[in-house]
Structure 1
C-alpha cells in the first residue's frame, strides 16, 4: 500500500527530457519527529534538472525531485509541537540536520552546513531510507525543517521562496546588503529575479542586473532595479570598475568571466557565488582581489531562522515571485520548457 505516496519519478538521466513516470514510492521511515503533508504546490528549480540528468554526480534513481514544497499537514509525530494538523507549511531544499548542541554548525545557526544534513531529495537519512521531493501528491519530512506560511503569502508565490528565495536572501543579508549599498546580480533567472527583489527589500540603494544582453532590463526595472549591465557590450567591465559593494552570482556557466566580475568590486567588496556549474571554472586572475582587498565566497541555502525572516519580510513588504503555474500532471511538458529556459521566472506545479 502506498498510503497516498505517489510521485513523478525519474528513472535515469534521460528523465530530464520529460520522461518522468508517475508511480508509488516508499517515503522515509516514520519517526515521531516527522510530518506527512498533502502537497498542493511545488516550485521547479534548476537543481531539479541538474539532478535528473546526474549533472552533479550520479543520482540515486529512481528519484523524485522538487524542493520548493507547500502543503497541508495531515499527520504529525508525537514530538512535533510547533505544527498542528491542517497547518499550511513549506519545505525547502534541506529537510534535516542534527540540531545537536555540540554541532559547530547547528549550534551557530548554520545548520545548512551540518555534516549530517539531508537534502529533500536524492539524499539518504541515517537509517538508509531515501529522501523524496515534491513532484508528488504527498510527502514525509522531518518537522524541524517545515515552516508555517504567513497568511499573506499565496501558496504558489511562497513555494519558490523555499529554495530560490532563501538561496539568495541569506547571502545578501550575511554580506551586508542594505542602505547605501550598490549590488550587482549576475544572471536574471529563477534565482536572479529573487536576488533583485530581496536586495531592494533589504534596503539596497541601487541594484543592477548583470546579463549577456539587455532583453530583461525592463523586468529588472519593474522589480525595483536600476537596469542591466550587458556583458556582450564592449568594455562592460571597465565602464563599471569599482562600482559594487556586493556582487551575487547565480551564473551556472563554468565559462563565466570571473576576472571581469571581480574588477567591478569596490575596495573590500564581496563576490558571492550561489550558482553551481557542472564543470570547473577556468583560471582567473587574483589581481582584482589583491588590488581591492576584495573576496570571493560561496553560499548554500540559509538557516532556519533566515527562512522564517525571509517569509515574514516577503509577507510584510509584498515580495512576489514572478511565476507561471501548471497542473502537476503536466510536469513532463513543463520540464521541457525549463530546459529551453522559458521560465519567467519560476514555474510552479499545482495539485
Structure 2
C-alpha cells in the first residue's frame, strides 16, 4: 500500500555507517558495540543525529530475551531525541530541527488501510516498529533503534519538540508518555473520574502527573510498598493504597472508575486490582507481562468491569501530548547516563532502581562524524 511516489532515493552511500549498542544472540543481555550500514535515505525521510535515548522496560524484555530468543545483532531503543542532519525534499522537517521518535517508524499511511484512514496508524498491519523489525514498504532493510549515534525514519514519525521541554526530559515522552496519556484521553479522564495508577515507576509517575493535570476528582497511587508514597503525592496523587495492607484494599473497594496498570510483575494479584474497580469501570493494561494473567471473572460480571489493553497512541495523540506536557509543566523524572554506560544502566532499569527513568546521553566527542 506504500505509494510509488515515495521511492525516490536521496542518499545511497554504501559506506554510510551508524554505530550503536546491540543485543546479540547468546549475549546474556549484554549489549555490544556494533555498526551497520543504514538503508538509503528516501525523499520523505530524515536522518537524525541522536543526542538522547530513554531506556524502557520493553528494551529490557527484548535484550534479556524475555520475549523470545535474539537471532541477530539488533540495536534497541525507542525513546529517541536528536536533531535532523539530512532530509529528503519531501520531508516535513528542516535541517537542525529538534525531533523525537517513538515506537513506530513507518506505516502504510494509505487510504485503503482502515486503520491509517481512521488516523490509528499504530494498528496498521504494514507498520514497522523502531528496532529489529523488517520494513514492509518495499524499500528493504530492518529497523535499528536509538541506542546509537544516528537513525533514519519517515519524517512524519519524527515529532518536533516544544522549546519548553529539555531533550533529556523529552525522550521518555515517546513511549512512557504516550503510553500513559492515550488511555486517559480515550476513557475521558477528568473532573468526574476517580483514576488509579498501579505501579509508581517509569510509566506510573507520568500517569499520575497526567491525571492531576486533567483535573481528575481523585488520583490514586497503588503500590505493594510504602517506599514511594511521599513521591507519589508530589507527582499528583490525592490518595495512596498499599496493596499489602488488606484493610486498605477493603476500604477502597469499588472506588475507581478508571485504572492504569503499569506494573508487569508476575506477582500481580489481579483479583485485588479488580476489587478496587467500581461499576462500569475500565482496568487498562499498559505493561507487557511475560507470564499469563489469571483471575476469576465474577467481579467483572458483577460490576460490568472492562479489562482492556492500550497500545501507544497515534501521531495526532503524540503531538497533542507534547503540547499538553509543555503547557502543564509535566516532566519525567530522569537520570542521565552516558551511552557508553548502557549496560550498567539497563541492569539498573531491570532491577527497578531508577526514580524514574534513565536516559542515555550522547557525549559530543562520541558522535559519528559520518555526513
Q: Counterpart of 2:189?
A: 177
The answer as to 2:123 corresponding to 1:113 is: yes
Name the CA distance, whole Å, in 2 between partners of 1:110 and 1:211: 32
Counterparts of 1:278-289 in structure 2 under 5 Å?
A: 278-282=290-294, 284-289=295-300
1:31 aligns with 2:42: yes
Distance, in Å, in 1 between the alignment partners of 2:71 and 2:180 is 27
Aligned equivalent of 2:56, options 45, 56, 59: 45
Q: Is the 8 A contact 2:25 2:71 kept in 1?
A: no
1:299 maps to 310
Asked whether 1:12 is paired with 2:25, we answer: yes
Counterpart residue number, 2:348? 337
Do residues 146 (structure 1) and 180 (structure 2) align?
no
What's 1:269 paired with? 281
Distance in 2 between residues matched to 1:44 and 1:28, nearest whole Å: 25
Give the structure-1-normalised TM-score: 0.95
Distance across 2 between alignment mates of 1:2 and 1:166: 36
Q: Are positions 1:123 and 2:122 aligned together?
A: no
Q: How far apart in 2 are the matches of 1:260 and 1:132?
A: 40
Q: Secondary structure at the match of 2:27?
A: helix
After superposition, what is the alpha-carbon deviation per residue over 1:245-293, rounded to whole angstroms, capped at 9, x for unaligned?
A: 10110121234211221121121111100111012112x1221111111
Distance 1:34 1:230 in 2: 48
Deviation at 1:237, TM superposition (A): 2.7
Match of residue 224 from structure 1: 236
Q: 2:326 aligns with which of 315, 330, 337?
A: 315
* TM-aligned CA distance change 1:27 to 1:349, over 3 Å: same
Q: CA 1:148/1:46 → structure 2, altered by over 3 Å: closer, same or farther?
A: same
Question: Are residue 166 (structure 1) and residue 178 (structure 2) matched?
Answer: yes
Deviations 1:101-141 (A, max 9, x none): 12121111211111111110121102441111110111111
329-338 or 51-60, larger mean C-alpha shift: 51-60
Residues 1:94 and 2:104 aligned together: yes
Do 2:17 and 2:37's aligned partners in 1 also have CA atoms closer than 8 Å? no
Deviations 1:16-64 (A, max 9, x none): 2xx2222311223432221110000001101111011221223352010
Give the match's secondary structure for 1:285: coil
TM-score relative to the length of structure 2: 0.90
Structure 1 counterpart of 2:338: 327
Q: Provide the C-alpha distance between the structure 1 equivalents of 2:306 and 2:269, rounded to a whole number of angstroms.
A: 16
Q: Are the aligned partners of 1:255 and 1:281 in contact in 2 as well (CA < 8 Å)?
A: no
Change (3 A) 1:72 1:168: same
> Are the structure 2 counterparts of residues 113 and 60 from structure 1 closer, same or farther at C-alpha, using a change threshold of 3 Å?
farther
Paired residues of 2:133 and 2:142 also in contact (CA < 8 A):
yes
Aligned length: 347
- SS where residue 20 of structure 2 aligns? strand
Q: Is the 8 A contact 1:288 1:294 kept in 2?
A: yes
CA RMSD in angstroms, aligned pairs only: 1.4
1:238 to 2:282 alignment:
no
Q: Distance in 2 between matches of 1:308 and 1:295?
A: 28
Residue 7 of structure 1 and its aligned partner are, at CA, apart by 0.6
What does residue 85 of structure 1 align with? 95
Indicate the residue corresponding to 2:369 in structure 1.
none
Aligned partner (choices 184, 191, 210) of residue 198 of structure 1: 210
Question: Is the deviation greater in 147-156 or in 337-346?
Answer: 337-346
Q: Separation in 1 of the partners of 2:17 and 2:49?
A: 9
Equivalent-residue separation in structure 1 for 2:307 and 2:123 (angstroms): 18
Separation in 2, partners of 1:336, 1:24: 23
What SS does the corresponding residue of 1:73 show, helix, strand or coil? strand
CA–CA distance in structure 2, aligned partners of residues 258 and 54 of structure 1:
25
